[in-house]
Amino acid sequence: MPLTPEQYLRPDVIQQIKRLDLKARFIVEGFLAGLHRSPFHGFSVEFSEHRKYTPGDDLRRIDWGVYGKTDRYYIKKFEAETNVETYLLVDASGSMGYAAGGRMSKMDYAICMAAALGYMMISQLDPVGLFVFDEKVRSFLPPRSKRAHLTNILSTLARTQPAGPTRLGACLHEIAARIPKRSLVILLSDLLDEESDSQEDSQEAVNQALHHFHHGGHDLIVFQVLDHSEIELDFQGQVRFEDPETRQELQVDPEAMRAVYRQQVREFIETYRQQCQSIRADFVTIDNAMTFDKALLEFLLQRQSRY
């Protein structure tokens, strides 16, 4: 029996598809099919070329064709409003390779998200660039809006493998300095950093780098990509964990430490959420058991609120 568009939003289904271009297309088509049957119908129409009418706008700019499809008033954006460049920042450090329970790894989930966003935005003729990094920037593609550029983005992402240690703060500082003008910046990372000996110092280093984007005038959306078991610690019996970057091992009884662990994870996430709020950046935690439409809808909502 053929799969429905909604089924292509499930990570376990997408995981079985080999070609990244097909993964991106199926995710976006499934997402847009869901939008057309949801209360958010109309978002895909005005995603990059239109915005909602507000009192004071010139009535001559209302797009009556869009009104006929959505029963809502939208106006065509001026060219200056549509040419905002977008940069996808993909963390390819060793910790992103983690997966439990046969799920898609954090790296694969982030790559699929980045591919779907690139596919969606270039289809709307929006210029998109790409940075891939671990302890240093590994790949960079300047923003373009041509269809051939999507092939370059997908090819770069398809070759990306989680490898090196994390120097998240340093890499984000470098990337912020390399983006020449106000842009939309989308970060896909677990936000785990090994630059400092303590978690507090590592988080502070990353927070300072996030502030760098704010000072540069960029609009920032942070997707924190985590493994479901990384959040819940839902293992049974004695478990030996190995750090994918340092190779240090630790044997623990998850049941004995689950409550304390979950509280620390909540605090870890909340620290980043508060820091992002302080610089008017959007922060979304997603896990690799979540269907892709939830993350994409959050992106669409955040972007619509900006432009």
Q: What is the pLDDT of residues 116-128, one digit of tens each?
A: 999 988 887 889 9
Pairwise pLDDT comparison (75 vs 104), residue with the higher score:
104
Q: What's the chain's average pLDDT?
A: 84
Read off the pLDDT band of 104 (50, 70, 90): very high
Is 237 in a helix, a strand, or coil? coil
pLDDT exceeds cutoff 70 at 5: no
Domains of the chain (ranges plus CATH)?
5-79 (no CATH), 83-306 (3.40.50.410)
User: Across residues 166-183, what is the average pLDDT?
Assistant: 94
**Dist. CA 278–CA 292, nearest whole Å:** 27
CB under 8 A, 24+ apart: contacts of 48-55: 48/82, 48/121, 48/124, 48/125, 48/126, 48/307, 49/76, 49/77, 49/82, 49/124, 50/74, 50/75, 50/76, 50/77, 51/75, 51/77, 51/81, 51/304, 51/307
Average pLDDT over residues 81-106: 87
- DSSP alpha helix (H) spans, 198-283: 199-215, 228-232, 254-278
Predicted local distance difference test score (pLDDT) of residue 69: 63
CA angle 268, 163, 159 (to 5 degrees): 115
Average pLDDT over residues 21-36: 81
Q: Please state the φ and ψ torsions of residue 143, each to the nearest 5 degrees.
A: -65, 135
Output the pLDDT for position 208: 93
Confidence of residue 201 (pLDDT cuts 50, 70, 90): confident
Structure tokens at 233: 């610690």
Pairing between strand 282-287 and 219-226?
parallel
Is pLDDT above 50 for 42?
no
Higher pLDDT, 53 or 80: 53
Give the residue-averaged pLDDT of 208-230.
94
**% of the chain at pLDDT higher than 70:** 79
* Whether pLDDT at 215 is above 80: yes
Whether 37 shows a pLDDT value over 60: the answer reads: no
Average of per-residue pLDDT across 146-157: 94
Share above pLDDT 90 across residues of the chain, in percent, rounded to a whole number: 45
pTM of the model: 0.83
At 250, the pLDDT band (50, 70, 90 cuts) reads confident
Of 26, 69, 9, the closest CA to residue 44 belongs to 69
DSSP 8-state assignment for residue 289: T
The whole-angstrom separation of Cα 197 and Cα 205 is 12
d(C-alpha 92, C-alpha 225), whole Å: 12
What pLDDT band is residue 236 in, cutting at 50, 70 and 90?
confident
What is the rounded (10 degree) CA torsion for 200, 203, 205, 210? Answer: -150
At 241, the pLDDT band (50, 70, 90 cuts) reads confident
pLDDT beyond 70 at 53? no
Say if residues 85 and 184 touch (Cβ distance below 8 Å).
yes
In whole angstroms, give the CA distance from residue 222 to residue 189.
Answer: 8
CB 29 within 8 A of CB 53: no
Apex 165 CA angle, 162 and 168, nearest 5: 95
